[in-house]
Amino acid sequence: MSTSKKVTQKQDEGEQLQEASPETIEKAEAGEPVSSEVEALKEQLVESQSQAAIYLDNLQRLQAEFINYKNRQQRDYDLSRQTMKGEIVKQVLPVIDDLELALKNRPDGEAVQGWVNGIELIYRKLESVLESEGVTRIEADGQEFDPNFHEAIAMEPSDEVKSGYIIAVLQQGYMIGERVIRPALVRVAA
């Protein structure tokens, strides 16, 4: 073996090459123990492994924090998008209400049948637009009153409906996903 063998030593500041002394090389070639340098190298190896474990732990923590950040950003984006949709839908809902009212009070006779068919077509189109945006109607008729989804306009005694249940829906309520855009206006049995 040549006398120009090198031993690699890793330190915090970077890598530094250190030449082994000729005496150490002669002892190693002769098979004699080279304990002090070997022990120093073992200590450096243990320190380097310890430092590598710390770096790995820090890296894993940063990766987990970044994933959490991305998830949080996606939730915030979805919520703001849903809120914007809700504001737009609020503007469309009065049109739906007017169409429902017109359909409930439709005149009889053959002459107005074309008018009625046109209104029904408009109503179905608006409903399909709302459904495509994830808007659902709050089912209220005959349901138990729930202040999270219903707004009571009046409480009336009723022999037909149990107390605390909805007698009539005066205005439909709507939701996007889990968010109530507008509660249903109802009359409740006392």
**pLDDT tens, position by position, 157-185:** 988 888 999 999 999 999 988 889 999 99
Tens of pLDDT, residues 26-46? 655 666 556 788 888 999 999
Tens of pLDDT, residues 97-149? 888 887 777 777 776 777 777 788 888 888 888 888 888 999 998 899 999 99
54 has a pLDDT exceeding 90: yes
Sequence-ordered list of residues with C-beta below 8 angstroms from that of 146, at least 6 positions apart, any chain: none
Q: Are 166 and 142 in contact (CB under 8 A)?
A: yes
> Strand 184-189 vs strand 166-171: parallel, antiparallel, or unpaired?
antiparallel
Sign of CA dihedral 167, 168, 171, 176: positive
Q: Are 190 and 163 in contact (CB under 8 A)?
A: yes
171/150 Cα distance (integer angstroms)? 10
- β-partners of residue 171 are 185
Q: In whole angstroms, how far apart are CA 75 and each of 81, 176, 181?
A: 10, 15, 19
Of residues 154 and 96, more confidence is placed in 154
Tens of pLDDT, residues 72-93? 999 999 999 888 888 888 878 8
Average pLDDT over the chain reads 81
65/52 Cα distance (integer angstroms)? 20
Return phi, psi of residue 84, to 5°.
Answer: -65, -40
For each of the domains in the chain, give its residue range(s) and CATH number, in order of start.
Answer: 136-190 (2.30.22.10)
Instruction: Enter the tokens of residue 12.
Output: 């915090």
